[in-house]
Amino acid sequence: MARKNLFLVTERYLGSAVAAIGALVLAVAATAVFEGWFYQWSGNRQLNATPLFGQRVHAAAKKSDTSVTVRPARGMVLAKLQIPRLNMSVVVLEGSDDGTLKKGPGHIEETAFPGELGNVGIAGHRDTHFRPLRNIRINDKVVVTTKTSTIDYFIDSVDIIHPTDMGILDPTSGPTLTLVTCYPFEFIGNAPMRFIIRATPRGNVEGSSTYAQR
Protein backbone atom coordinates (compact mmCIF):
# COMPACT_ATOMS: atom_id res chain seq x y z
CA MET A 1 0.00 0.00 0.00
CA ALA A 2 2.77 2.41 0.96
CA ARG A 3 4.57 1.66 -2.28
CA LYS A 4 1.39 2.32 -4.26
CA ASN A 5 0.84 5.64 -2.49
CA LEU A 6 4.43 6.65 -3.20
CA PHE A 7 3.91 5.83 -6.87
CA LEU A 8 0.75 7.93 -7.00
CA VAL A 9 2.46 10.88 -5.30
CA THR A 10 5.46 10.62 -7.64
CA GLU A 11 3.18 10.42 -10.68
CA ARG A 12 1.27 13.50 -9.50
CA TYR A 13 4.45 15.52 -9.01
CA LEU A 14 5.86 14.44 -12.36
CA GLY A 15 2.63 15.45 -14.05
CA SER A 16 2.76 18.85 -12.40
CA ALA A 17 6.42 19.29 -13.35
CA VAL A 18 5.72 18.43 -17.00
CA ALA A 19 2.79 20.85 -17.06
CA ALA A 20 4.95 23.59 -15.53
CA ILE A 21 7.73 23.02 -18.07
CA GLY A 22 5.20 23.09 -20.90
CA ALA A 23 3.73 26.35 -19.62
CA LEU A 24 7.22 27.84 -19.35
CA VAL A 25 8.08 26.84 -22.91
CA LEU A 26 4.85 28.38 -24.18
CA ALA A 27 5.51 31.56 -22.20
CA VAL A 28 9.01 31.89 -23.65
CA ALA A 29 7.68 31.31 -27.19
CA ALA A 30 4.88 33.84 -26.67
CA THR A 31 7.38 36.39 -25.37
CA ALA A 32 9.58 35.93 -28.45
CA VAL A 33 6.60 36.32 -30.79
CA PHE A 34 5.43 39.44 -28.97
CA GLU A 35 8.94 40.93 -29.03
CA GLY A 36 9.18 40.39 -32.79
CA TRP A 37 5.72 41.87 -33.36
CA PHE A 38 6.48 44.87 -31.16
CA TYR A 39 9.74 45.73 -32.94
CA GLN A 40 8.06 45.39 -36.33
CA TRP A 41 5.17 47.60 -35.22
CA SER A 42 7.40 50.26 -33.67
CA GLY A 43 9.76 50.15 -36.67
CA ASN A 44 6.86 50.80 -39.02
CA ARG A 45 5.73 53.74 -36.90
CA GLN A 46 9.26 55.16 -36.90
CA LEU A 47 9.63 54.89 -40.68
CA ASN A 48 6.16 56.23 -41.41
CA ALA A 49 6.90 59.29 -39.27
CA THR A 50 9.78 60.25 -41.57
CA PRO A 51 8.73 63.04 -43.99
CA LEU A 52 10.36 61.47 -47.08
CA PHE A 53 9.38 57.89 -46.31
CA GLY A 54 7.19 56.33 -48.97
CA GLN A 55 7.98 58.89 -51.65
CA ARG A 56 9.17 57.23 -54.83
CA VAL A 57 12.55 58.85 -55.34
CA HIS A 58 14.36 55.84 -56.86
CA ALA A 59 17.60 56.86 -55.15
CA ALA A 60 20.54 54.75 -54.09
CA ALA A 61 23.72 55.87 -52.38
CA LYS A 62 27.04 56.15 -54.13
CA LYS A 63 29.91 54.70 -52.16
CA SER A 64 31.91 57.92 -52.44
CA ASP A 65 29.30 59.90 -50.53
CA THR A 66 30.28 60.40 -46.87
CA SER A 67 27.92 63.20 -45.93
CA VAL A 68 26.82 61.35 -42.81
CA THR A 69 29.57 60.14 -40.51
CA VAL A 70 27.61 58.03 -38.03
CA ARG A 71 27.04 54.36 -38.76
CA PRO A 72 23.75 52.80 -37.59
CA ALA A 73 23.76 51.09 -34.20
CA ARG A 74 22.90 47.43 -33.87
CA GLY A 75 19.14 46.98 -33.88
CA MET A 76 18.50 50.37 -35.50
CA VAL A 77 15.62 50.51 -38.00
CA LEU A 78 17.05 50.83 -41.53
CA ALA A 79 14.33 50.09 -44.06
CA LYS A 80 11.11 48.39 -45.00
CA LEU A 81 11.20 45.36 -47.31
CA GLN A 82 8.03 44.48 -49.19
CA ILE A 83 7.12 41.72 -51.64
CA PRO A 84 3.65 42.61 -52.92
CA ARG A 85 2.77 39.24 -54.46
CA LEU A 86 3.46 37.46 -51.16
CA ASN A 87 1.71 40.18 -49.15
CA MET A 88 4.97 40.41 -47.21
CA SER A 89 6.10 43.57 -45.41
CA VAL A 90 8.88 43.58 -42.82
CA VAL A 91 11.07 46.17 -41.13
CA VAL A 92 14.82 45.61 -41.60
CA LEU A 93 17.13 46.24 -38.65
CA GLU A 94 20.89 46.69 -38.43
CA GLY A 95 22.80 43.49 -37.60
CA SER A 96 22.50 39.77 -38.28
CA ASP A 97 23.05 38.35 -34.78
CA ASP A 98 20.39 36.08 -33.32
CA GLY A 99 19.09 38.73 -30.93
CA THR A 100 18.40 41.10 -33.81
CA LEU A 101 16.90 38.43 -36.08
CA LYS A 102 14.35 37.56 -33.40
CA LYS A 103 13.00 41.10 -33.84
CA GLY A 104 13.10 41.16 -37.62
CA PRO A 105 15.26 40.63 -40.70
CA GLY A 106 18.72 42.15 -40.29
CA HIS A 107 21.23 43.89 -42.53
CA ILE A 108 24.29 41.66 -42.84
CA GLU A 109 27.39 43.46 -41.62
CA GLU A 110 30.05 44.41 -44.20
CA THR A 111 27.53 44.44 -47.05
CA ALA A 112 26.09 47.61 -48.58
CA PHE A 113 23.41 49.34 -46.55
CA PRO A 114 19.83 49.46 -47.88
CA GLY A 115 19.69 52.32 -50.37
CA GLU A 116 23.34 52.00 -51.45
CA LEU A 117 24.68 51.03 -54.87
CA GLY A 118 26.15 47.68 -53.95
CA ASN A 119 25.30 44.20 -52.69
CA VAL A 120 22.76 44.68 -49.88
CA GLY A 121 22.65 41.53 -47.75
CA ILE A 122 19.63 40.89 -45.53
CA ALA A 123 19.14 37.79 -43.37
CA GLY A 124 16.00 36.52 -41.68
CA HIS A 125 14.63 33.48 -39.88
CA ARG A 126 12.85 30.93 -42.10
CA ASP A 127 10.19 30.19 -39.46
CA THR A 128 9.13 33.79 -38.78
CA HIS A 129 9.70 36.94 -40.84
CA PHE A 130 11.21 35.25 -43.90
CA ARG A 131 8.84 32.28 -44.00
CA PRO A 132 6.87 33.69 -46.98
CA LEU A 133 10.05 33.43 -49.08
CA ARG A 134 9.37 29.72 -49.54
CA ASN A 135 6.84 30.80 -52.18
CA ILE A 136 9.08 33.30 -53.98
CA ARG A 137 9.20 33.29 -57.79
CA ILE A 138 11.56 34.60 -60.43
CA ASN A 139 10.61 38.17 -61.46
CA ASP A 140 8.76 38.88 -58.21
CA LYS A 141 9.14 42.53 -57.23
CA VAL A 142 10.87 43.43 -53.95
CA VAL A 143 10.53 47.02 -52.76
CA VAL A 144 13.16 48.34 -50.34
CA THR A 145 12.28 51.70 -48.83
CA THR A 146 14.58 53.70 -46.54
CA LYS A 147 14.08 57.15 -45.03
CA THR A 148 15.54 58.70 -48.18
CA SER A 149 15.09 56.23 -51.03
CA THR A 150 12.92 53.60 -52.66
CA ILE A 151 14.31 50.91 -54.95
CA ASP A 152 12.32 48.27 -56.83
CA TYR A 153 14.29 45.04 -57.22
CA PHE A 154 13.20 42.03 -59.29
CA ILE A 155 14.13 38.43 -58.46
CA ASP A 156 16.81 37.08 -60.79
CA SER A 157 17.71 33.79 -59.10
CA VAL A 158 16.94 31.44 -56.23
CA ASP A 159 19.67 29.08 -55.04
CA ILE A 160 20.35 26.62 -52.26
CA ILE A 161 23.94 26.64 -51.03
CA HIS A 162 26.14 25.34 -48.23
CA PRO A 163 26.57 27.75 -45.28
CA THR A 164 30.27 28.10 -46.06
CA ASP A 165 29.65 29.20 -49.68
CA MET A 166 28.96 32.82 -48.80
CA GLY A 167 30.74 34.47 -51.72
CA ILE A 168 27.18 35.46 -52.60
CA LEU A 169 27.71 38.37 -50.19
CA ASP A 170 30.79 39.73 -51.99
CA PRO A 171 30.59 43.33 -53.27
CA THR A 172 28.93 43.90 -56.65
CA SER A 173 29.53 46.64 -59.19
CA GLY A 174 25.85 47.53 -59.38
CA PRO A 175 22.83 47.58 -57.06
CA THR A 176 22.00 44.07 -55.88
CA LEU A 177 19.78 42.64 -53.15
CA THR A 178 20.69 39.32 -51.52
CA LEU A 179 18.22 37.70 -49.13
CA VAL A 180 19.49 34.85 -46.95
CA THR A 181 17.60 32.36 -44.80
CA CYS A 182 18.03 28.76 -43.67
CA TYR A 183 16.83 25.75 -45.67
CA PRO A 184 14.85 23.49 -45.75
CA PHE A 185 11.99 25.64 -44.45
CA GLU A 186 10.32 22.70 -42.70
CA PHE A 187 13.52 21.33 -41.14
CA ILE A 188 13.38 20.77 -37.37
CA GLY A 189 16.50 22.07 -35.64
CA ASN A 190 19.45 23.84 -37.25
CA ALA A 191 18.82 23.69 -40.99
CA PRO A 192 21.90 22.49 -42.92
CA MET A 193 21.65 24.69 -46.03
CA ARG A 194 21.01 28.31 -47.00
CA PHE A 195 18.25 29.63 -49.25
CA ILE A 196 19.58 32.52 -51.34
CA ILE A 197 17.54 35.02 -53.33
CA ARG A 198 19.26 37.50 -55.67
CA ALA A 199 17.52 40.53 -57.14
CA THR A 200 18.51 43.61 -59.13
CA PRO A 201 16.69 46.77 -60.24
CA ARG A 202 15.60 47.36 -63.80
CA GLY A 203 16.90 50.69 -64.96
CA ASN A 204 19.37 53.16 -63.45
CA VAL A 205 19.33 54.23 -59.81
CA GLU A 206 21.50 56.92 -58.23
CA GLY A 207 21.42 59.32 -55.31
CA SER A 208 23.11 60.20 -52.01
CA SER A 209 24.27 58.20 -49.02
CA THR A 210 22.46 57.72 -45.72
CA TYR A 211 25.22 56.12 -43.66
CA ALA A 212 28.99 56.33 -43.36
CA GLN A 213 30.99 53.99 -45.54
CA ARG A 214 33.28 51.29 -44.30
- Contact between 181 and 130 (Cβ < 8 Å): yes
* Mean pLDDT along residues 23-40: 55
Residue 211, pLDDT score: 47
Number of C-beta neighbours around residue 26 at 10 A: 10
Give the Å distances, CA to CA, from 102 to 148, 149, 183, 189.
Answer: 26, 26, 17, 16
Q: Are 81 and 90 in contact (CB under 8 A)?
A: yes
pLDDT tens readout for residues 55-86 = 555 555 555 444 444 689 999 999 999 999 99
- CATH class, domain 1-214, is mainly beta
pTM (predicted TM-score): 0.76
pLDDT reported for residue 206: 57
Q: Which residue has the higher pLDDT, 130 or 189?
A: 130
Q: What is the pLDDT of residue 186?
A: 93
Give the pLDDT of residue 33.
59
Domain definitions of the chain by residue range: 1-214
User: What does the pLDDT read at residue 69?
Assistant: 45
What is the rounded average pLDDT of the residues 5-11?
Answer: 54
The answer on pLDDT for 51 being more than 70 is no
**Residue-wise pLDDT tens digits, 162-175:** 999 989 999 999 99
Average confidence (pLDDT) over 135-163? 96
User: What gap in Å lies between CA 15 and CA 208, rounded to an integer?
Assistant: 62
